[in-house]
Amino acid sequence: MIADKVRTIWCRELQRDDISVDDDFFALGGQSVIMARIQGAFIEELGVEVPIDQMFLNPTVASISEYIESLDVVIR
Amino acid sequence: MILQGNRVALPSVPVVHKQFEAHTEATPDAVAVFCGGHRVTYAELNAKANQFARFLVGRGHGRGAKVGVCLDYSIDMVVAILGTLKAGSAYVPLDPSYPAARLELLLRQIPDALVVASRATVGLVESEAVEVISFEQLSDHLADLPVTGPEVPVTGDDVCYAVFTSGSTGTPKLTGVRHEGWFNLLNWLMREYRLHRGSNNLVVSAFGFDLSQRSLMMPLFCGATQYLMASRNFDVAMAYRMLTQHEIRTVHCASSTLYLLVDWETARGGEALTRLDYVLFGGEPLKFERILGWARREGNTCTLLHQYGVAECTDVATSYDLADYRSDEHDIAPVGRPAYNTEIHILDERMRAVGAGECGEICISGTSVGVGYLNDTGPESERFTTVVVDGAPRRLYRTGDRGYVSQAGELVVLGRMDAQVKVRGMRIDPTDIERALGRLAGVREAAVVTSHTDSGESELVAFVVPAGDDLAENDVRPRLLETLPRNMVPARFINIPRIPLSPHGKVDRAALVDAFRNQYTRSGTTA
């Protein structure tokens, strides 16, 4: 599922393995540099460019995964 | 020691929007602003700005007034800025990426201002403190106003914009600069680097930042096109795509944004950044090794201008072409020579000039020195003083930065003389954050320092003394995010039993930095 792939990317870029799908990116210590790396990983690994503004509006694995699904693009 | 910028005569009425109006006369059909697929020509933009200026004057917000602009990057934002300048009023950027509580604190500093918002931002500035109008609601009314300017007699001494910077009292300082200083800065960059009608620019910095004001106005000062990202937050993928798709020649940014762009291009093998004419950047110590590989890439024709300045003295005071920099000869990349009509002084604590090559406080005098703080900031206004240059008194600002002048006559910046820190180009007073932390339930006391990550970024580290049980990072951080801009929220929170003090009874920040290094390497013991 997309949420699994997204969570794997978050765990890697935030360097922690205890992230649940409802944890807030900023509460986890996320910053703009890390967000840019996650955006890059979404492009490379899922084939989708997620606007940074959407990542701010959807700061959890669950909500950003839902957003990506709503784009209706073929996820690798 | 004094470094003197070239003396260059300015027009008798050095006001920034006159330069824009001259381009409107010369090239009315040229594209002035491009944003999110929408574009506006110089003539269209000028007409809209005139209508908005007439509205402001009619409402009593003309010469000498303040207009808060809480808008996302858009054509409307540029209309609001130019209209405010034409009305003789000063605009105050209110960054919509800030939390509403922070914006409320800023609004309370400008009680007499009119605030312009949009449907998307009006909810952020609902305040008892000021009058707020929505741009969309205004549009019908504006369209009925004449498209000619209100011809307000603006002078070079009028305040053109004022930006908020973090202050030691916990109250943000509102720093005002003059039209003449801003005109001088833009004229210097345009002439020194031969910017022209083709020098299209992409804005990549947050609106609240002083460098964004220059980035926004520079292309309009040159007759070029301004490219804006339809994004509230900096979006590196979008920025890079725009650099690839459009004829963009310049970017103004903080060092940390340059690293992001360079990393993005390097990881994906693009060329858009290397094909730029200029990246003008600064705001924090340069980690040259972060960009060395990219800078030396074959075919890279982008000139990197390493710059230094402070908001109190109209943004940029010095500039240096990094092509001249030999990292094996000097540890620290210089920031170069002063702007036109600007002097850099290196002074000791008794305000006497130090000898050649000696270290001291960097002080700035000349045209670029601003009008000072427009709100009550207590003793901080004492940093503005007067010196005699060439027999005439000149206003001088003591920056609080330490530095020296190299043998080649270039300024080198070493760091702060006080506890202020630079994070992603923004000057932050740690006491501002400490006070916000201290107001949180469960926090008895707090101290904030900076540390450097492995990749060269500086990050904020908070030491908190809990009132009861240890505080959890994912409890403290969200509460802080409700009151502070994101770049002021520490990356790390560490519980300690007490804040170490120096023999003088001040917070011992060096001990905290050491403690962080130890704690960090042991890991797992942080909050």
Contact between A29 and B491 using a beta-carbon 8 Å cutoff: yes
Q: How far apart are CA B473 and CA B527, in angstroms?
A: 5
pLDDT digits 0-9 by tens, B82-96? 999 999 999 999 999
Q: Is B279 left (phi over 0), alpha (psi -120 to 50) or beta?
A: beta
More confident: A30 or B168? A30
- The pLDDT score that the predictor gives to residue B525 is 38
CB B247 within 8 A of CB B200: yes
**Residue B516 is encoded by which pair of tokens?**
């962080």
Q: How far apart are CA B402 and CA B418, in angstroms?
A: 10
| Nearest Cβ partner for A31 among B235, B267, B491 | B491
Q: Per-residue confidence at B147, pLDDT binned at 50, 70, 90?
A: very high
| Nearest Cβ partner for A28 among B231, B455, B474 | B474
- What does the domain layout of chain B look like in residue ranges? 15-154, 429-522
**Residue B518 is encoded by which pair of tokens?**
């130890």
Average pLDDT score over residue span B498-519: 80
A36 contacts in chain B (CB < 8 Å): 236-237, 260, 264
Q: Per-residue confidence at B522, pLDDT binned at 50, 70, 90?
A: very low
Neighbours of B503 (CB within 10 A): 6
A31 contacts in chain B (CB < 8 Å): 459, 486, 491
pTM: 0.90
A33 contacts in chain B (CB < 8 Å): 256, 260, 455, 457
Residue B523 has pLDDT above 50, yes or no: no
More confident: B158 or B478? B158
Mutation target vs A (from B236, B264, B423, B453; most A CBs, 10 A cutoff):
B236
Q: How far is B289 from chain A (nearest CA, A)?
A: 18
A49 contacts in chain B (CB < 8 Å): 237
Whether ipTM > 0.90 holds is yes
Contact between A40 and B237 using a beta-carbon 8 Å cutoff: yes
| Nearest Cβ partner for B233 among A27, A33, A52 | A52
Contact between B231 and A52 using a beta-carbon 8 Å cutoff: yes
Ranking B63-67, B96-100, B451-455, B473-477 by mean pLDDT, the lowest is: B451-455
Closest residue of A to B476, CA-based? Answer: A27
Contact between B477 and A43 using a beta-carbon 8 Å cutoff: no
Residue B425 has pLDDT above 70, yes or no: yes
- Dihedral sign for Cα B315, B317, B322, B328, please: negative
Mean residue pLDDT of chain A comes to 91
For B115, the 3-state DSSP assignment is strand
Q: pLDDT exceeding 70 applies to what percent of chain B?
A: 97
Contact between B486 and A40 using a beta-carbon 8 Å cutoff: no
Residue B145 has pLDDT above 50, yes or no: yes
Average pLDDT score over residue span B315-331: 88
B74 contacts in chain A (CB < 8 Å): none
| CA distances in angstroms from B84 to B145, B325, B334, listed in the order given | 15, 41, 36
Pick the CATH number of B15-154 from 3.40.50.300, 3.40.50.980, 1.10.1060.10, 3.10.20.600: 3.40.50.980
| Nearest Cβ partner for A49 among B233, B237, B487 | B237
Closest residue of A to B232, CA-based? Answer: A53
Q: How far apart are CA B46 and CA B136, in angstroms?
A: 18
Q: Which residues pair with B409 in a beta bridge?
A: none
| CA distances in angstroms from B244 to A56, B52, B239, listed in the order given | 25, 34, 9
Q: How far is A70 from chain B (nearest CA, A)?
A: 20
- The pLDDT score that the predictor gives to residue B24 is 98
Domains of chain A (ranges; CATH) run 2-70 (1.10.1200.10)
Q: Is the Cβ of A53 closer than 8 Å to some Cβ of chain B? A: yes
Q: How far is B236 from chain A (nearest CA, A)?
A: 7
CB B64 within 8 A of CB B158: yes
- The pLDDT score that the predictor gives to residue A76 is 64
Contact between B234 and A32 using a beta-carbon 8 Å cutoff: yes
Q: Is the Cβ of A49 closer than 8 Å to some Cβ of chain B? A: yes
Ranked by mean pLDDT, the top range of A31-35, B135-139, B247-251 is B247-251
Q: pLDDT exceeding 70 applies to what percent of chain A?
A: 96
Ranked by mean pLDDT, the top range of A24-38, B167-181, B267-281 is B267-281
Residue B15: partners with Cβ closer than 8 Å, 6 or more residues away = B85, B154, B155, B156, B158, B160, B179, B183
Ranking B94-108, B138-152, B413-427 by mean pLDDT, the lowest is: B413-427
Q: pLDDT exceeding 90 applies to what percent of chain B?
A: 71
Average pLDDT score over residue span B325-331: 78
- The pLDDT score that the predictor gives to residue B458 is 80
- The pLDDT score that the predictor gives to residue B462 is 93
Q: How far apart are CA B16 and CA B184, in angstroms?
A: 9
| Nearest Cβ partner for B267 among A40, A49, A53 | A40
Residue B323: partners with Cβ closer than 8 Å, 6 or more residues away = B303, B304
- The pLDDT score that the predictor gives to residue B20 is 98
Closest residue of A to B488, CA-based? Answer: A31
- The pLDDT score that the predictor gives to residue B520 is 60
Architecture of domain B429-522: 2-Layer Sandwich (3.30)
For residue B270, give the amino acid letter: G
Task: Report angle CA B90, B92, B97 to the nearest 5 degrees.
Answer: 160
Average pLDDT score over residue span B63-76: 97
Average pLDDT score over residue span B443-466: 85
Ranked by mean pLDDT, the top range of B335-339, B384-388, B444-448 is B335-339
- The pLDDT score that the predictor gives to residue B294 is 94
B455 contacts in chain A (CB < 8 Å): 33
- The pLDDT score that the predictor gives to residue A60 is 96
Residue B317: partners with Cβ closer than 8 Å, 6 or more residues away = B308, B309, B310, B338, B339, B342, B344, B364, B368
A23 contacts in chain B (CB < 8 Å): 474
CB B204 within 8 A of CB B233: no
Average pLDDT score over residue span B108-132: 94
A53 contacts in chain B (CB < 8 Å): 231-233, 235
pLDDT digits 0-9 by tens, B267-294? 999 999 999 999 999 987 788 888 989 9
Closest residue of A to B492, CA-based? Answer: A29
Q: How far is A21 from chain B (nearest CA, A)?
A: 15
Mean residue pLDDT of chain B comes to 92
| Nearest Cβ partner for B477 among A27, A33, A49 | A27
- The pLDDT score that the predictor gives to residue B66 is 98
Contact between B486 and A49 using a beta-carbon 8 Å cutoff: no
Residue B358 has pLDDT above 50, yes or no: yes
B456 contacts in chain A (CB < 8 Å): none
Contact between B491 and A33 using a beta-carbon 8 Å cutoff: no
